[in-house]
Chain A
């Protein structure tokens, strides 16, 4: 008995060991909070088939970060502005009959990146860790970031709960929802805004380029194992929690980049869910 328990105790000890460092505490807390936000947002991203918008919006945050670096103000602040404007612009222009949302993303995504490169080129001082923003940096999460994640993430979750049934109806069939009196145009822009906010609060730990994966994978993997929306959300949250916490632990012990490890683990879970789904059939 005691002998069997030894490796378990040893594992727990090293786990606790990991949390001696404040940056690991911060990273873990941030990861847990973001898991709930990204899981719920990805549920709607998958149902509305907006995966590519996720990619567009995440990259637009890069332009915002670079602008913050140029102006010498908080990159988070400028990234929020950039991402919210770009995602809503994609939604607005994509409504035109002649331009598909797909095309609108294909225009705004490189535009935001191009602006980002121009801003970096214009700024002489190089005091912002751009690579960290692109791919995530576990060491970068400060107490202040935790507060930003808690406030904005809480706002995203709370407002999503408030408009949940309307968002679900619009995802199910937007024209029927409109005829039934749902405020479809408002809900579209509302969703694009919370999508942008979720991206910005995730970029420090997961990275601009990698976070688009977590806007898709939890919802997509969950949709493979259930046919009910409440259990799909539950699975989505569990998958996001396992990915972020597991990814952080692995990245700590294997000395790997946190964002990439989290995304790789999430993808692994997706493939397992895919296999399970295939076997069930």
Chain B
């Protein structure tokens, strides 16, 4: 398959491998024939319209959604085995639980629970580790504050500290820019780049907002039920595939120079 042939020379072993993955909800396909490899130390961005299956794709990788067809490998193993413990996961910011009664420090400590183990309470050492993680994201001064009073950008930073607590090899982020102003967004993506450069962490993130992602991601793919890679414009944006995938109601995916091809090809097609 052409989709999987992304620079295999430099990074021989993918940490995430999806082969011909199909997922349906209520008899409707939300993911069709997804081939995806993610390698060490890369920021992999996935963009696409709402309802295009972005969150579902992440949940397949995390083992939260089981595909009807196809195989998923996470660090060479099935995702619901221990592979998930190598992942730091940031779900979409939920506005439902803004009042959850925990402090900033409590949230970061949660990321350490698995390491602390059953029947043990967080001790001074765990708290020290949590404080160090908070200072990495410039949130140490807020440790004692209730999590619910923070701004969107501050919560994002605390959540990333929580996700980093398990020393993950891969960060999976779902719409990380939701509710975060543009300055805080830039800081946030700089932070991700720092993690990649200094610790060799891979990042997979999805967003409907292509703007920032393209400037920080090493690779970008478009997802609308099927997955298309931007660095293979010929295979992705031929009128044939555009017609087949985006159909008549292509509205999004027009955001920058890289994406313009797919917009134009659609216009031409019309």
Contacts of A228 in B (CB 8 A): 101-103, 146
Contact A229 B102, CB 8 Å, known A169-B110, A173-B97, A175-B89: yes
**For chain A, what secondary structure do more than half of its interface residues adopt (helix, strand, loop), or is it mixed?**
helix
In the complex, which of the residues A163, A171, A179, A227 contacts B84, with contact meaning CB atoms closer than 8 Å? A179
Contact A227 B146, CB 8 Å, known A165-B116, A173-B97, A182-B113: yes
A125 within 8 A of B: no
Q: A178, B166: Cβ atoms under 8 Å?
A: no
Interface residues on B, range: 20 to 34
Chain A 85-110, CB-CB to B under 8 Å as 1, else 0, gives 00000000000011000000000000
Q: A172, B62: Cβ atoms under 8 Å?
A: no
Interface segment among B117-125, B191-199, B248-256, B258-266: the answer is B117-125
Chain B 114-135, CB-CB to A under 8 Å as 1, else 0, gives 1010110110000000000000
- Once bound together, how far apart are the Cα atoms of A227 and B121, in whole Å? 20
Contact A180 B100, CB 8 Å, known A175-B89, A228-B146: no
How many residue pairs link A and B with beta carbons under 8 A? The number is 75
Q: A169, B103: Cβ atoms under 8 Å?
A: no
Contacts of B114 in A (CB 8 A): 180-182
The residue in chain A whose Cβ has the minimal distance to the Cβ of B102 is: A229
Number of A positions contacting B (CB below 8 A) = 27
Within A156-171, the residues touching B (CB, 8 Å) are 162-166, 168-169, 171
Q: B84, A172: Cβ atoms under 8 Å?
A: no
The residue in chain B whose Cβ has the minimal distance to the Cβ of A180 is: B114
CB A67 to nearest CB in B, in angstroms, measures 36
CB A218 to nearest CB in B, in angstroms, measures 14
The residue in chain A whose Cβ has the minimal distance to the Cβ of B165 is: A180
Q: A165, B64: Cβ atoms under 8 Å?
A: no
Q: A172, B100: Cβ atoms under 8 Å?
A: yes
B215 within 8 A of A: no
Q: A165, B91: Cβ atoms under 8 Å?
A: no
Contacts of B118 in A (CB 8 A): 162-163, 166
B99 within 8 A of A: yes
B85 within 8 A of A: yes
CB A42 to nearest CB in B, in angstroms, measures 13
- 17 A-B pairs in the complex with CB atoms less than 8 angstroms apart: A165-B116, A169-B110, A172-B100, A172-B102, A172-B110, A178-B64, A179-B64, A180-B85, A180-B89, A180-B113, A181-B85, A182-B114, A227-B101, A227-B148, A228-B101, A228-B102, A228-B146
The 4 A-B residue pairs with the shortest CB-CB distance, nearest first, are A227-B146, A181-B114, A179-B89, A229-B101
